[in-house]
Structure 1
Amino acid sequence: MKNKTVIITGAASGIGKATAELFARHGANVVVSDIQEAEGNATTDSIIAAGGKASFFKTDVAKPEEMEALVAFAVKTYGQLDAAVNNAGIGGEQALIADMSIDGWKKVIDINLNSLFYGMKYQIPAMLKNGGGSIVNISSILGAVGFANSAGYTAAKHGVVGLTQAAALEYSAQKIRINAVAPGFIETPLLDALDAEMKQQLVALHPIGRLGKSEEVAELIFWLSSDKSSFVTGGYYPVDGGYLAR
């Protein structure tokens, strides 16, 4: 990935931040994107301080015009776009379906699913101009199974898998590879609201006996983005400590 340009959404913290730092260590030009400006700038500054190349661009991924502007910024700043990691997401409203608010449903679908369509809509034309590229969409283990009280999140993450497969079929012949990564429960700020007992209940769902680390997910994202995975497209790859094997 040396001297190649990558966009990473949701890069202010968690998996996105770990991925941005990993790409930078391998010499990529990293466009750090997040709606959280202070935290996004902090990620960018830490990469630069470590000798990497990075720029921050504030983006609300639920707004297509901002996703278009993000791609334009990457191309203007670094000359082309080689890879994208559509990672930004939220846990969303926790409720039974009959009790879930309409706004809560729409918000999680907008951020966790629609944003990936917006991203690819503008990322793909930019990649076609330089002969190809790689896109990694972040789904979840809940892209393959259900989870009570999280209908919006579960539906969105299932949708990510279907969207990824369709896109991979459409653009494989034009040398754009598109894959989905499915993290299990990872130690990120999304889990900060949980108490120790609830976290332990989540740990028990993973046969490996612990929650995952952002850096472990980042390693798979990086491999899928690199030329080492040149025959890999349209796939759904769990990083889940055995969650889906139960």
Structure 2
Amino acid sequence: MNLLNKVAVVTGAGSGIGRAISEKLASQGAFVYVTDITEASGQETVNIIKRNNGKAKYLPLDVRNPEQVEATFQKVANDTGKLDILINNAGIPGQPSSIEQIPNAEWTNLLDIHVNGSFYCLKCAVPYMKKNGSGRIINMSSLASETSLRGYGHYAAAKYALLGLTETAAKDLAPYGITVNALKPGVIRSALTSGILSMAEEELAKATPLGKIGSPSDVAAAAAFLCSDEASFITGATLIIDGGFRLVNEMDNAMDRFLSISNS
């Protein structure tokens, strides 16, 4: 998966999955623009990449601000003359609430970051990719868009919306050699999942067929593949990284209990 001389923009790259993807792309030879709303964490990602002999630069970015998004992509184009890869990763989980108790402001903020932010970045990236005659765009959805997630209606709605954006953009941009795909991480060890893992890590690992919690590097490896030439015929697709978690249901649990009794 050689990404030598590719230019990538990764949003929300200051920690977790965004940091891991940035490190992975840089390790494959890409010049990575690390964007994040928090300078300290974004710059730390850059420092990690540089310590490993990669190339990276931090740019401040609040994806909710379309003018700032446009200026950021113009900066990248001015610096490099091109853009090859966009990873729309910026996001927050929000506070767990039942549907009727979600504050309107929080609902709007989650959709603004996940959906509007991804749209603004995609819209600004496309003209530069068209000039190249190719490009790779990855939108970060979630397993919550497949199974829903009790208490996180705002988060699930945003992640469902990203799948519609992914599939429509894939059709629109295919004639220009631009692929658009989505990733659906399951339970991945990061700052976003630290709360639930502190209470239920053992239970969640046991419920995963592969028997463990995923890591940001697992998602980063999938992203690097979709950014590579080897994935040039994949577009409008969704890759699930969850260790098989989505496959387990209550019937499986009932069968486990039945087999345990039968074998005792």
- TM-score between both structures, scaled by the size of structure 1: 0.96
Distance 1:110 1:204, change over 3 A: farther
Name 1:74's counterpart in structure 2: 76
Distance 2:197 2:55 in 1: 37
- The answer on 1:192 being equivalent to 2:191 is no
What is the letter of the counterpart of residue 198 of structure 2? A
Q: Structure 1 regions of 5+ residues with no counterpart?
A: none
- The answer on 1:130 being equivalent to 2:103 is no
Name 1:41's counterpart in structure 2: 43
Residue 17 (structure 1) aligned to one of 16, 19, 22: 19
Q: Identity across aligned pairs (percent)?
A: 37
The superposition leaves residues 72-128 of structure 1 with CA deviations (integer Å, 9 ceiling, x where unpaired) of 121122221001100111001210001111011111111111111111110111111
Q: Secondary structure at the match of 2:156?
A: helix
Distance 1:136 1:59 in 2: 18
Distance 1:188 1:27, change over 3 A: same
| Cα offset, 1:172, TM superposition | 0.5
Distance 1:195 1:208 in 2: 17
Distance 1:124 1:36 in 2: 25
Q: Secondary structure at the match of 2:138?
A: strand
Post-superposition, which runs of at least 4 consecutive aligned residues in structure 1 deviate over 4 A? none
- What is the aligned residue count? 246
Kept in 2, the 8 Å contact 1:29–1:78? The answer is no
Q: Secondary structure at the match of 2:147?
A: coil
**RMSD over aligned Cα atoms:** 1.2
Distance 1:202 1:94 in 2: 18
The superposition leaves residues 130-176 of structure 1 with CA deviations (integer Å, 9 ceiling, x where unpaired) of 11201011100112221111000000001111110000010101100
Kept in 2, the 8 Å contact 1:139–1:183? The answer is yes
Name 2:56's counterpart in structure 1: 54
Kept in 2, the 8 Å contact 1:83–1:135? The answer is yes
Q: For the pair shown, which has the larger CA radius of gyration, 1 or 2?
A: 2
Distance 1:5 1:213 in 2: 25
What is the letter of the counterpart of residue 193 of structure 2? L
Residue 181 (structure 1) aligned to one of 180, 183, 188: 183
- The answer on 1:223 being equivalent to 2:225 is yes
Distance 1:245 1:110 in 2: 31
| Cα offset, 1:36, TM superposition | 1.2
| Cα offset, 1:177, TM superposition | 0.3
What is the letter of the counterpart of residue 71 of structure 2? A
Q: Structure 2 regions of 5+ residues with no counterpart?
A: 249-264
Distance 2:77 2:62 in 1: 19
Of 176-185 and 47-56, deviating more is: 47-56
| Cα offset, 1:56, TM superposition | 0.4
Name 1:238's counterpart in structure 2: 240
What is the letter of the counterpart of residue 232 of structure 1? I
- The answer on 1:114 being equivalent to 2:123 is no
Residue 104 (structure 2) aligned to one of 98, 102, 105: 102
Q: Secondary structure at the match of 1:107?
A: helix
Name 2:155's counterpart in structure 1: 153
